[in-house]
Amino acid sequence: MMHRRTAKERDRGIDEIAKTAQHSDDYDALQAEFDTMPKVAERAEFTRKYNSLGVSTFVFLLVWFLGAMVFFFTKSWTYGTSLYFTYTSLTTIGYGDLVPQSNADKPFFVLWTLIAVPSVTILISNIGDTVVTLIQKGTMWLGQRTILPERSINNKKSPKKKGFWSIKNVEKAVNEENAREIEEGAVPDPSRNSKGIRGDIDKLGEAVETVEEERGHGDSMAAQLAREIRLVLKDLGKQPPRKYDWEDWKRWVGLLGNGPKGLDGLRSATTHSDPSEKGKSQPHNRHWIWLGDEGPLFTGENESSWILGKLCERLEQVLMEEVQSDKNNKNKEQ
């Protein structure tokens, strides 16, 4: 259900991109697609939450009013009193001033509560996902503009956060963030240690960097990919998951495809949400990176996990090319 809703929002996003970006092989079109991805995810999540809230509210009211009607028709109480009794039972208040009396009321009440109480639990959960979240956001918004203005991300006096253009800037930001988390009393993530597959990937990246530097190729494609892999690895498993900006992705686009025109390996097709429209719209027939069926939006992976996999695949490809190139050079020398 969620996948289908996301597909519908993606179709809307693709239509919006088609109006502004006509070509898929330039950075402007890629940025338009990248900017659309969080919008699609946000709209799909918004629709899911409020649809769930609407359905759970309807079920709650249905169980409440129909339960009261049954007690009314059994001539136990008036309809108003029946509404009062069913409401206090639904909300588990249970004052005890009213109890089922007849032989028909008692078994019905047992069966009714098996449906009624879970429906209230689901409603409260959906209210927490929507209404409470809105209140929290409103409170934070008000606080950032009154008693805590220095923490406002929209504070005009604070300098704009520049994109990470160099490896040194990324490493500095990561180290500062880790130090800040420790100072605030955050418990270190045990998954960030050197054990397991993460540690193996980190050691592999370090080994590739070392070998490339010893060969005098510190700025080679393999060395750059290894450094990026080790940096992305630091974000793996973070909660909430790290969201990268366009400058980060633009740098990775250059590494993974040597520019926008070499990204066919990252692109994947899209499944149209309406089968009757499949094949009719040219923009939907294009292959996409972030909006494709195998992109981070639909695979269920977070951005860190998805890009880490692509960087590792690209590093493997580059290393194989280097090995083959060395073999060819040796054969020529012989």
Assign residue 47 the CATH number of its domain: 1.10.287.70
- Both 147 and 169 in a single domain? no
- Both 42 and 136 in a single domain? yes
Is the CB of residue 41 less than 8 Å from the CB of residue 300?
no
Could you tell me the pLDDT band of residue 19, with boundaries at 50, 70 and 90?
low
Is the CB of residue 287 less than 8 Å from the CB of residue 268?
yes
pLDDT tens figures, 130-172? 887 788 778 887 887 777 665 444 444 444 444 333 444 444 5
pLDDT, mean of residues 188-209 = 67
Of residues 101 and 19, the one with the higher pLDDT is: 101
292 belongs to a structural domain: no
- Both 21 and 90 in a single domain? yes
Helix axes 2-20, 27-73, angle to 10 degrees: 140
- Both 320 and 202 in a single domain? yes
Average pLDDT, the chain: 76
* Domain stops at, among 129, 151, 173: 151
The answer to whether the bond into 188 is cis (omega within 30° of 0) is no
Tell me which residue range forms the domain holding 312: 165-240+302-334
- Both 75 and 173 in a single domain? no
User: Distance between CA atoms of 238 and 93, rounded to whole angstroms?
Assistant: 40
- Both 176 and 101 in a single domain? no
pLDDT tens figures, 238-259? 888 888 888 888 888 888 875 5
* Domain stops at, among 151, 182, 217: 151
User: Distance between CA atoms of 139 and 133, rounded to whole angstroms?
Assistant: 10
**Structural domains of the chain, count:** 2
DSSP string, 30-59: HHHHHHHHHHHHHHHHHHHHHHHHHHHHHH
pLDDT, mean of residues 186-194 = 49
* Domain stops at, among 151, 178, 199: 151
- Both 123 and 179 in a single domain? no
